[in-house]
Amino acid sequence: MGKERGSSLRVAITGPTSEFGALLLPKLLAEPRIEQILTFGPRPVSGARLVHHRLDLTRSDVESDLEGALSGARVDVLYHLAFLHGRTRGAAFAHELEVIGTLHTLAAAVRAGVRHVVVPSTTAVYGARPGNPVLLGEDATLHGSPGSRFVTDRVEVERQLATFRRDHPGVGVTVFRFAPVLGPTVDNPATRYFRRPLVPTLLGFDPLWQAVHEEDARELLLHVLDAPVSGTFNVVSEDVLPLSSLIRLAGTRPLPLPPPVARGTLRALNSAGITATPGALLDYLHYSWVADGTRARTLLGFHPRFGTREAAASVRS
């Protein structure tokens, strides 16, 4: 990034009230090395040294506003966190925000001279498939989950980022593929799954899962300020557990469904308010999808404080 550890930094965040934005922003506000924080989003946020721009990434003319604000601030690190891990108004809006919004953000960043961009992704982009290797490295094919808007949009964003890296080698880009982020404060499909009194499983299947605790996810995002290493990194805990163990640790109970009727049953349970599990998640309840965390350990020195066991237990309210 070209700045020494003790020098001041200028940081920008899209999606400051998103899952990762809410995790990261309080820590950034408490960081004395940060001279200014720019935030971009439809809902206002405030804090010392913070300048908020009320801005909608789905607007067709948003790039000029973004570029102007970023250019004036000479931003060192841009955290692009405007992704919907919570409940959404609809698939079309989510696609506009996440996929088209990322295009707008990257275009504005390169024209404004932003030095480094950080984007969160998910290990779910690999897909849960019967032919998966024991460990999925960062170079594995992103099969995704064709039935899931949530996963499909992440795969498309990653393809945009690969193209951006190729076309703009002077801009650093870090992509973190997080295992399901679990913790007491985050709200995402995984935490909603484990917080229900009954959680659907597939009868006869107990795939291996990983997780990462919200505190470890936050600390790694902060680490970029000291070590802005470009690349894509799996962010996973160092232990792997069967799904049944995570369910028990989270304090909930499994509801085994026969695979042939699982989708129809799940729709009925969701409609009745008994579960809140997207049908597309069934593949991840069927097959293992274990990511290799070696690259983050080796290149970033990422050694999480919490394991999958602790992350699952932290979901209990």
Q: What's the CA gap between 96 and 297, in Å, rounded? A: 34
Phi, psi values for residue 93, rounded to 5°: -65, -45
Q: What's the CA gap between 178 and 219, in Å, rounded? A: 13
Residue 195 forms part of a structural domain? no
Task: Specify the pLDDT at position 262.
Answer: 87
Q: What's the CA gap between 182 and 215, in Å, rounded? A: 9
Residue 130 forms part of a structural domain? yes
Contact 285, 205 (CB under 8 A): yes
CATH code, 103: 3.40.50.720
Residue 169 forms part of a structural domain? yes
Tens of pLDDT, residue by residue over 175-234, are: 999 999 999 999 998 999 999 999 999 999 999 999 999 999 999 999 999 989 999 999
Q: What's the CA gap between 156 and 159, in Å, rounded? A: 5
Residue 63 forms part of a structural domain? yes
pLDDT averaged over every residue in the chain: 91
Residue 16 forms part of a structural domain? yes
DSSP3 helix / strand / coil % (the chain, rounded to 5): 40, 20, 40
Question: Which two tokens mark 48?
Answer: 């010392």
Residue 44 forms part of a structural domain? yes
Domain that holds residue 127: 9-184+211-238+291-305
Number of structural domains found in the chain: 1
Number of residues in the chain: 317
Residue 108 forms part of a structural domain? yes
Tens of pLDDT, residue by residue over 76-109, are: 999 999 998 655 556 777 788 889 999 999 999 9
Residue 259 forms part of a structural domain? no
Cα dist. 12→72, 225, 239, 242 in Å? 12, 12, 33, 38
Kindly report whether the global pTM for this prediction surpasses the value 0.95. no
Residue 64 burial (CB count, 10 A): 11
Sites in the chain below the pLDDT cut of 70:
1-7, 85-90, 317
Number of helical (H) and strand (E) elements in the chain, helices listed first: 12, 13
